[in-house]
Chains A and B, each alone.
Chain A
Amino acid sequence: MNEQAKLYLLASGLFNQPTHNRIKDLHCLIDELLQTMPEWEILKALKPHLKYSEDLETEYSRLFILSFPNEAVQPFASYWIESDHSLMGNSTLEVKRMMLEHGIEIAENTGLLPDHIVSELEFIAYLVSQDDEKSQQTQQQLLEQHCSYWIPLFITALNKANPIPYYQLSANYLKQLMIPT
């Protein structure tokens, strides 16, 4: 897997439920990335925050599942793209189709939709790791015609929700990764 794929995989993991094992794995992944990309300050900033705690899980739930005390940070593309904020909109199906074209689907019992930020980022990681033109085309299409629309909205909402440093940095990381300056 190339470095770029790992970067997307890291992004996916950061927005996934922060279980003990996942945090441990993210730690390993960041260490790997820092070996080859020591200049990425955001990775260095993130590393000390990769510690499991119940507060982190609570914050994850607050931000992305059901609390929304001041801002809905819905992790679904469809929420931001569809005019009525519905999930499973056409935008979800577009992503699902793209995945299927590459032989990928969301496994049962994971509780994720195709356009959940975790699914999309991991799909991009997959595409980036492939060495064929079709994958590059899909990646470009997904990033330019889909992610570029909703990821900035998601990041803005996340920042407005006054998240703990872990998610402030994760938002910053996602911004650096996904939004060209």
Chain B
Amino acid sequence: MSTHDHFDPSRRAFLGAATGGTALTIAGLPSQALARINAPHDHEELKKTTEVFGFCDMCYWRCGLKIRSRDGRAVKIDGNTEHPNNWGVVCAKGNSGLMVAYAPNRLKYPMKRVGKRGENKWKQISWDEALDTVATELNKAKEKYGPQTLALIGHGSWEKPYHRLAHAFGTPNTTSPVFGLCCGPRGVSNMIIMGRNLTGNETIDLENCKYFLMMGRNITESLHNGETLGWVNGVANGAKVVYFDPRYSITAAKADEYYAIRPLTDHAFLLAMINVVINEELYDKQFIAEYVVGFDELKERVQKYTPEWAEPITEVPAQDIRRLAKEMAAKAPSVFVYAPRRMTRTSNDFGTGMAITILNTLFGVWGRKGGVFTPQNYKVPEIDLPKFEHATANRIDVGGDFNYEQPEIPIAHIQDKDGKYQRADGAGVMGRWPIANPQYGLTNEMWKAMAEQRPYPVKALMTAGGNGFLNSTNYDIIRKALETVDFYVATDVIPNEMNMYADILLPEASYLERYDDLQVGGGREGYVAVRMPAMKPLHGTRDAWTICKQLADRMDLGAYFPHDSIKELIDDRLKKAGSSLAEIEKVGILKIPADPKKNFPLDHGGKLKIKTPSGSSKAEMIPGMLKMMGYDKALDYVEQVRPNEDEFHMTFGRIGFHTHARTQDNVWTADLMRENVLWIHPESAAKRGINEGDLVKVSDRKGRSGEIKAKVTIRIRKDTIFMVHGFGHWDSRMTTANGKGLADSDLASYEVDPSIGSMSMGLSLVKVEKV
């Protein structure tokens, strides 16, 4: 089959015989251009079942997989029993991964926008034309505005090569929503107090934990296989579960105790717990003496946060707060205060996160069985690359996720004293969001920078997966950003409302159809895992690395992609680690065995190694860095919004079989939930004449509104409504999800945490009325 569109009557016609080499010429037929079929060399694809290893892309936990293929197509996804992220378990989302590859609506060919941005009018173009256009337009923007004018927002696929491409291009403006829209507050809290990350694949010794205090950590629905499995085993081993959530989730149903805490007030409850633990001397005295500084100042600081103070704020009885503190202390250090997965809710998530870290630290959970283990890391060196001129230092260089070494210069200057470009989103920039992680950036602020073209022109956008609308909030800003940039190229496997605005749309091969760079993780066992293709890429799709390599070659950045293929890169990295691609392909994962002495040093006579960003070798209860910057006020409670009599707190969250806004168009996951509904308490519903299944209108104070069906249930507070996240799509290309349910993201608040710049999505107050 030809890819040429040229008329060439001398060539073989559109068909040929497979054997004997006799070409069938069709007299008078002018058309190689018509031809789409040609002869095979053999029937090589009709083979028996084969099996390859991979890791999942259906959520961000990245479970290890074994994928069976037959006749050239992947037919079954199973878990890799050796992978510590899931120990062989695959969830509903993971099983539905096949329908990412086989989705009728997936992006299939490179497309060029021919209508207005967002109008969804396209023309299929060749890869060469698409890549040439992208390279030309990006270079044009660079010439006019400088390399910092490019923003890269990645989310959803294995986005590493895109970050490398952007850094090679010369921009520091690479970002992923993980900090500003999801886990940032708890990540930075653990880092600034303990020098530990504790996000991503959390290093909690769940199986041996004896007491879980779960602050809205809905582990059975916002689930990750290895984590949920560990928690279930912990519960089976006798752990007590105390769960806090304005909604009676499935996790609440599995808990020993449930508190329908008043929304947004977790911080008040936690401060009262700290108060009791300190004043009643329930903390781990030896741990505090050896590993903690700032205890006395903390003690003084929390005196005002008594359980009696917290009770009217949280609606958790003071006597229960005292009892819970004592119960936990009795089980410490095999206890854990569990932060919610997404922690961008209140106007002081940073304070909430720090209170959780402090409480865990008071119980001495670090490096202890049943607490937080110290992970081991499989050392796989990165490939040798030329230096990135302007990119922020990577996490390996700074020994953690958070780089505080930022120069003090005015915002108006776009370069620091060393000539490095400052991030447009202000993450890690003095005078803006110095505590925010410049590795991931503040995606919410990056959208704003593009919309407002401040502090400097951000005129080119590349997105790798993600959905700026449904994964964020403030659609006006997102839309304005997408309409303001000079050039926008989107790569993804699936269509969505954001990539609908692209000038050039590049279709990626799904995770079942490609090699990717290695997954290097740290658990009790250190590991490195491989992703192998279970089938050839369908349609006209290409893998992420190849797309980036081919773009880099066109922009004279080939030195940053020195290998001819991603396979070569993997092999190169593994050989530096004493293995090879051939070796890892046999097993899918290479591991360093768990070592209790390293995982739980304090239980084996060892010491805990601490290094906080300010250089302290002890945990800082009142982080010096914060005091220096004037941000330590975040340790104190900040009063949260309260709804008027006729209003509700607007809450949203996940369900076990959908991931963010990425799976609603997947026919298999949609079979489990096709649209979301509004949870409302029967008394609140009755006041408004709302019955089960009624269509209701939800409106916020900013004038935004939407319609959704009601689910009348006692499983929610009377002052709170809830909906599952990720629904309410309006992209007509998503024929399964389009028009189903309501987008919480168009109702969530878009204020930001004043300390770290992450979004405070839970501040929205809404009215509900029957339509």
| A residues lining the B interface (CB < 8 Å) | 1, 5-6, 9, 12-13, 16-17, 19-22, 24-26, 28-29, 32, 54, 57-58, 60-62, 65-70, 72, 74, 76, 78-79, 84-89, 93, 96-97, 99-100, 102-113, 118-119, 122-123, 125-126, 129
Q: Report A-chain residues with C-beta under 8 Å of the C-beta of B71.
A: 93, 96
A residues within 8 A CB of B5?
19-22
Q: Is the CB of B26 within 8 A of A129?
A: yes
| Complex Cα spacing A69 to B39, Å | 37
A-B contact pairs, 20 of them (CB 8 A): A6-B29, A9-B31, A17-B124, A22-B5, A22-B31, A25-B30, A28-B30, A61-B123, A76-B104, A88-B101, A88-B102, A100-B46, A104-B39, A106-B36, A106-B37, A111-B109, A122-B35, A125-B15, A129-B24, A129-B26
Taking the closest CB of chain B, its distance from the CB of A152, in whole angstroms, is 18
A21 to B538, CA, bound (A): 25
Q: B11 interface residue, CB < 8 Å from A?
A: no
Residue in chain B with minimal CB distance to A9: B34
Contact B99 A57 (CB under 8 A): no
Q: Chain B 15-29, CB within 8 Å of chain A: the 1/0 string? A: 111110000101111
> Interface-forming stretch among B114-122, B444-452, B648-656?
B114-122
Residues in B118-134 with C-beta less than 8 Å from chain A = 120-124
Contacts of B107 in A (CB 8 A): 66
User: Which residues in B have their C-beta under 8 angstroms from that of A1?
Assistant: 13, 26-29
Contacts of B2 in A (CB 8 A): 107, 110
A29, A66, A123 interface centre (most CB from chain B within 10 Å): A66
Nearest residue (CB) in B for A100 is B43
Residue of B nearest to A25 (CB): B31
CB distance from A89 to the nearest CB of B (A): 7
A-contacting residues, B725-767, CB 8 Å? 732-733, 735
A105 touches B39 (CB 8 A): yes
> What CA separation (Å) do A96 and B733 show in the bound complex?
27
Assess the B538–A67 pair: CB atoms within 8 A: no
Shortest CB distance A97–B (Å): 7
A13 to B668, CA, bound (A): 33
Q: State which of B14, B29, B30, B103 has its C-beta within 8 Å of the C-beta of A86.
A: B103
Closest Cβ neighbor of B736 among chain A residues: A85
A89 touches B46 (CB 8 A): no
> Which residues from B are CB-within-8-Å of A78?
102
Q: Cα distance A104–B38 when bound, in Å?
A: 6
> Are the C-beta atoms of B34 and A25 separated by less than 8 Å?
yes
- Inter-chain CA distance A15–B36, complex, in Å, is 12
In the complex the two chains form, is B46's CB within 8 Å of A97's CB?
yes
A129 and B277 alpha carbons, distance in the complex (Å)? 86
Chain B, Cβ-Cβ closest to A79: B104
List chain B residues, Cβ under 8 A from A62: 121-122
Known: A100-B43, A104-B39; 6 extra A-B contacts, CB below 8 A, are A21-B33, A22-B31, A25-B30, A86-B667, A97-B46, A103-B16
Query: Given contacts A1-B27, A29-B30, are A66 and B667 in contact (CB under 8 A)?
Result: no
Residue of A nearest to B73 (CB): A88
- Knowing A74-B104, A85-B104 are in contact, say whether A60-B124 is a contact too (CB < 8 A): yes
User: Is the Cβ of A68 less than 8 Å from the Cβ of B732?
Assistant: yes
Q: Could you say which of A70, A86, A108 contacts B104, with CB atoms under 8 Å apart?
A: A86
**Best-surrounded residue of B15, B111, B540, B667 (most CB of chain A within 10 A):** B15
Given contacts A66-B107, A122-B34, A122-B37, contact A107 B1 (CB under 8 A): yes
- The 3 nearest A-B residue pairs measured at CB: A103-B18, A107-B1, A111-B540
Q: Please give, as numbers and ranges, the residues of chain A lying within 8 Å of B46 by CB-CB distance.
A: 97, 100
Q: Among B18, B34, B45, B101, which residue has its beta carbon within 8 angstroms of that of A12?
A: B34
A110 to B6, Cβ gap below 8 A? no
Q: Which residue of B lies closest to A6 (CB)?
A: B29
Known A28-B30, A32-B28, A106-B37; contact A58-B15, beta-carbon cutoff 8 A = no
Residues on A with beta carbons closer than 8 Å to the beta carbon of B1: 106-108, 110, 112
Q: What is the bound-complex CA distance between A36 and B656, given in angstroms?
A: 62
CA distance A85 to B24 in the complex (A): 36
Rounded to whole Å, the gap between the CB of A84 and the closest CB of chain B is: 5
B312 adjacent to chain A (CB < 8 Å): no
Most chain A CB atoms below 10 A, which of B16, B29, B30, B104 = B104
Nearest CB in chain B: distance from A132 CB, A: 11
Residue in contact with A118 in the complex, picked from B16, B36, B43, B101, CB distance below 8 Å: B36
Contact of A87 among B6, B37, B102 (CB under 8 A): B102
Question: Which residues of A are found within 8 Å of B523, using beta-carbon distances?
Answer: none
Contacts of B17 in A (CB 8 A): 103
Give every chain A residue within 8 A of B735 (Cβ-Cβ): 68, 72
Cβ–Cβ contact B124 & A87, under 8 A:
no
- 0/1 interface trace, chain B 537-566, chain A, CB 8 Å (1 if under): 011100000000000000000000000000
Q: Which residues of B contact A107 (CB under 8 A)?
A: 1-3, 36-38
Q: B111 to A66, Cβ gap below 8 A? A: yes
Closest A residue to B30 by beta carbon equals A28
Partner of A66, one of B35, B105, B540: B105
The answer, yes or no, to whether B309 is at the interface (CB within 8 Å) is no
- Shortest A40–chain B CB gap in Å is 18
Q: Is the CB of B7 within 8 A of A21?
A: yes
Min distance, Cβ A157 to any Cβ of chain B, angstroms = 11
B40 part of interface (Cβ distance < 8 Å):
yes
With A65-B109, A69-B732, A87-B104 already in contact, the answer to whether A22 and B120 are too (CB < 8 A) is no
With an 8 A cutoff between CB atoms, is B466 at the interface?
no
B562-590 residues at the A interface, CB under 8 angstroms: none
Interface residue? B108 (CB, 8 A): yes
Contact status A99-B37, CB under 8 Å: yes
**With A and B bound together, what is the CA distance between A66 and B174 in angstroms?**
28
CB-CB < 8 A to A5: which residues of B? 26
B495 close to A (CB within 8 Å): yes
The answer to whether B73 touches A93, judged by C-beta atoms less than 8 angstroms apart, is: yes
Give CA–CA (A86, B72) in the complex, Å: 16
Given the known interface contacts A104-B15, A129-B24, the answer about A110 and B36 at a Cβ–Cβ threshold of 8 Å is: yes
A67 and B120: CB pair below 8 A?
yes
B667-A84 in contact (CB<8A) = yes
User: Are A103 and B40 within 8 A (Cβ)?
Assistant: yes
Of the residues A58, A84, A109, A118, contact of B668 by C-beta under 8 Å: A84
Beta-carbon nearest neighbor of B29 in chain A: A1
CA distance A166 to B701 in the complex (A): 50
